[in-house]
Amino acid sequence: MVRLILALTALLATSGLAQAQDAGQIARVQAGQSCPGCNLFQAELAYRDLPGIDLSGARLRQANLALVTMNRARFDGADLSIANLFGGRFTGASFRNADLSRANLVGAYFGSADFSGANLSGATLSGAEMAGVRGLTQTQLSSACGDAWTQLPAGLSLPACH
């Protein structure tokens, strides 16, 4: 029985199912320190001012970044799936190759942010200010949704959210 429990524990640890958040890493980020590659699963970062922070490759799945100010932040290759970026300010931020699938970007400001290679599948962009972003393609937007108040670069469009 003990062998079975140890085997199952090892299997969970290596399968990615046991990737709980790291409270120490979350505290570092809440204090304004960069933390590339950190496990920030479900981190509470709302209402914070974190300019220039580097979270490249970090796991921010289901994190709350509502009304945060993260100008010039780096999210390159980060997992922001199902994250809440509602009303956040991300001027000059880099989301290169980030996973923003099913994320809430409602009302967020992304002036001059870089979305090259970002996954926006199922993301909600209603009211987002994205007119000045770089690297955004029609293919990325075709799997997301928005509304009449979503501002996009010239020539790009977005399906309406239902």
Q: What pLDDT, on a 0 to 100 scale, did the predictor assign at position 108? A: 98
Q: What pLDDT, on a 0 to 100 scale, did the predictor assign at position 19? A: 63
CA distance 120 to 80: 10
Rg, the chain, Cα only:
17
Q: What pLDDT, on a 0 to 100 scale, did the predictor assign at position 20? A: 77
CA distance 88 to 113: 13
CA distance 100 to 94: 12
Q: Which domains does the chain have, with CATH numbers?
A: 42-153 (2.160.20.80)
Contact between residue 43 and residue 24 where contact means Cβ atoms under 8 Å apart: no
Q: What pLDDT, on a 0 to 100 scale, did the predictor assign at position 150? A: 98
Q: What pLDDT, on a 0 to 100 scale, did the predictor assign at position 7? A: 42
Contact between residue 114 and residue 135 where contact means Cβ atoms under 8 Å apart: yes
Where the chain has pLDDT below 50, the residues are 1-18
CA distance 19 to 17: 6
Which of 107, 51, 59 is closest to 80 using CA atoms? 59
- DSSP H stretches of helix in the chain: 2-15, 23-30, 138-142
**To which H or E segment does residue 79 belong?**
none
